[in-house]
Structure 1
C-alpha cells in the first residue's frame, strides 16, 4: 500500500481546498465501483453493490489535511497566513510549505531568525502564527503577485514521504497521512473486494473539511441511509517519552478499535463485531479510549435516525506536522480488519442497541 499512500499524501488538499484529492480519488475508484460522484461540498461518494442483498454499510475517511491560507502580502513580499485546522505554533518555524496558485505551486519557508540572533531574543518565547510569515523568495509585494500569490491561496506542508530509517523498519514519514492513510485503506479494501463475493451495498465517502469541524461528513451524512458505518482515521499514539504519555496506544501494535473519543462513543454492537473478527482472524489490534480527538463518525452516527458506527484508527506519531509517522503493518492490519468486516456482513445481520 506504500505507493497508494504516496500518491495520496503528496496531493495538495488543505481544508476547503481538496480539489486535487477529490479529482484523483474520483478518477482512481471509478473502474471499481458502480457509480461515483462529487457532491457540491466536495465529498467523493462512491457506491458498489454486492452480488447478494444485505446490509447497507458506509465507509468514510477524510481527504483534507491541516494547512494554511494566505491572509495578506507584506510590502517586502512576505506572506502572512491563517491556519486551516489544528496546528501547534511551536513547530511552525523554518518549515517548508507549498503555496497553491492559479499559476502553479510555489515553494516557501515559514521564516525564523538566524541562530546568531537568539542571544538577543527570549529563548522561551513561542510566537503566535500571526506573528510569523512565509518567504517565497519574492523581493516585494508586486513580485509575489506576479508569481500568482493572492489572498485566499491555500498552503500545505511541502510534499514529502519516505521510509523512517530505511525500508526494514516498516515505518514511513511524511505529510498528510491524516487522513490520506484512511483513504488508502478504503481504496485498497475496495480493490481487494473485486475478487470476493459480498452482501449488501457499500457506500464509500471521502469527506472534506474534517479538520475544521467534520463539515463534509455532516453534509454527506444527510445523503445516505445506512445500517452501519465505519470510519477510518489516524489517531495519536502515546508511546513517546513525554511526561503526559500513558503508553495506551503504540505504533506497530496493530489497528486501533475505538471505544470512544470526544465526538463519538462507538456503538457497542459494531465494536464487539470488530473485536470478534479481529480475534478470529488474528489481526493485531489495540483498544482506543482517547478524548483528545474526533472523527467523521461523530457526524455520521447522528444521521437520519442514527447509524450504528465504529472507528478503526491508524496509529500515528507527530500528527498535524510535516513529519507524521505510521507503521505499514498497522495500515495493513486496518485494511485487513475492514475487509473482513465487510465480508462478514450477511442479509439478516442487525446492529441493535439492545
Structure 2
C-alpha cells in the first residue's frame, strides 16, 4: 500500500529532465514490479504497463509524465561557467539563484547565478533586469572548475542541468504540501494508486498505463507512443493550474480540462464525467497542454481526456492538497469503469 506523500517525496527527489529520465525509470519499474506487474520501456524511454485483456482491441491509454523542467548547457565559457537554455516552459524567476546539479558522467554541483546587485553599470544583469524581462540569457552556472576539467567530466553543450537534490524536500503548509516538480510527480503517485486499485480486479477493456518521457518539451514521449498505438481515448494525469481566467481552488477536488491550447474534450466524455456523481472543478485553459491534448492535435488519439491536481505556482515551487492525489485516482478509475461500458 503506497503512502501518497511518502511516495511523492521519493519521486520528487530524483532528477529527471527531458531526455534523461533513466534514474526515475528504474525506480518506477521497481515499484511496478512490487505490485506484481510487469513493465517494458520503449525506445523513447516511456514505461508501459498493461492491464486487462490483451486482445485485438486498441487499449485506452493512461499517462502521467516522468520528466521535469530543466536546463541544458548551451556553451562552456572560458572562465568555466556554463551558459544554459531551458528545457520546457521554465522561467528564470521561478528557479532563482541556487544550487543545481550538472548531470554529466558523475554529477557535479553548480550554482545558478544572475550576478550581484550593488551596481548601476548598464552591462550588469541586475540593472538590465530592473528595467526589463529576466531571461535565461542573463544567467550562468558557476562551477568553480576550468573548461578542461569540465571536459574531462563530460560536460559539453547538451549536458542537462537539474535542480539540486538539496532543494527537493517537500514543505508542509497546514493541510497542503509544496515543492518543485509536483507537476507531474504528484500525478505519478495517482498513476500508481490507480494501478494498485485495478491490478487485482477484472478489467473489461485493454488498458495501457504509460509513464511518459519528455512531456515538457512538446509531449515527445506520448507522441512517439501514440503514433504506434493510435487509441480512441488517451487520459492524461496533469496539474490543474490556479489561474484567474479559469478559477480552481487548492483542495482535494480534481480538475477537468474541458479545453486547452491544443484540443477540446469530446462532449461524450464531458457528459460521462458529469454523470459519475463525483465532485470536479471544470477548467478551460488559455495556455497549456497535456500528453492527451498534444496527441489529439496531431491526430494520434480521437478523444483526449485530461484530469488535473489543483496546483498553485505551476512550473515553480508548487502547492497542492495531498488528498487530491487519491481523489484523482478515484476519478480516473470511475471514468475508466464507465467509459469501457460504452466501447
TM-score (norm 2): 0.87
CA contact (8 A) 1:54 1:199 kept: no
The gaps in structure 2 that reach 5 residues or longer are none
Show the counterpart of 1:248. 247
The gaps in structure 1 that reach 5 residues or longer are 239-244
Question: For residues 304 and 110 of structure 1, do their structure 2 counterparts lie closer, same or farther at Cα, with a shift above 3 Å needed?
Answer: closer
| 1:107 aligned counterpart, secondary structure | strand
Q: Residues 298-317 of structure 1: CA distance to partner in whole angstroms, max 9, x if unpaired?
A: 24436778432311011212
Q: Is residue 308 of structure 2 the alignment partner of residue 309 of structure 1? A: no
CA contact (8 A) 1:94 1:110 kept: yes
Show the counterpart of 1:242. none
CA contact (8 A) 1:99 1:156 kept: yes
CA contact (8 A) 1:163 1:170 kept: no
Q: Residues 207-228 of structure 1: CA distance to partner in whole angstroms, max 9, x if unpaired?
A: 1121111111111102225443
Alignment length (residue pairs): 333
Equivalent residue runs for 1:234-273 within 5 Å? 234-238=239-243, 245-246=244-245, 248-252=247-251, 254-273=253-272
| 2:205 aligned counterpart, secondary structure | strand
2:50 and 2:306 mapped to 1: Cα distance?
20
2:179 and 2:143 mapped to 1: Cα distance?
22
Q: Residues 237-263 of structure 1: CA distance to partner in whole angstroms, max 9, x if unpaired?
A: 12xxxxxx3461221161001210011
Q: Tell me how far 1:324 sits from its aligned partner.
A: 1.7
Among 163, 166, 173, the residue aligned to 2:178: 173
CA contact (8 A) 2:84 2:140 kept: yes
CA contact (8 A) 1:96 1:109 kept: yes
2:55 and 2:93 mapped to 1: Cα distance?
53
| 1:192 aligned counterpart, secondary structure | helix
Q: Tell me how far 1:119 sits from its aligned partner.
A: 8.6
Equivalent residue runs for 1:313-324 within 5 Å? 313-321=308-316, 323-324=317-318
Show the counterpart of 1:192. 197
Question: For residues 327 and 118 of structure 1, do their structure 2 counterparts lie closer, same or farther at Cα, with a shift above 3 Å needed?
Answer: farther
TM-score (norm 1): 0.84
Q: Residues 189-212 of structure 1: CA distance to partner in whole angstroms, max 9, x if unpaired?
A: 101223433322210112112111
Question: For residues 82 and 289 of structure 1, do their structure 2 counterparts lie closer, same or farther at Cα, with a shift above 3 Å needed?
Answer: same
2:227 and 2:342 mapped to 1: Cα distance?
23
Show the counterpart of 2:111. 109
Show the counterpart of 2:102. 99
For the aligned residue pairs, the C-alpha RMSD in angstroms reads 2.7
2:193 and 2:312 mapped to 1: Cα distance?
23
Show the counterpart of 1:232. 237
1:106 and 1:304 mapped to 2: Cα distance?
42
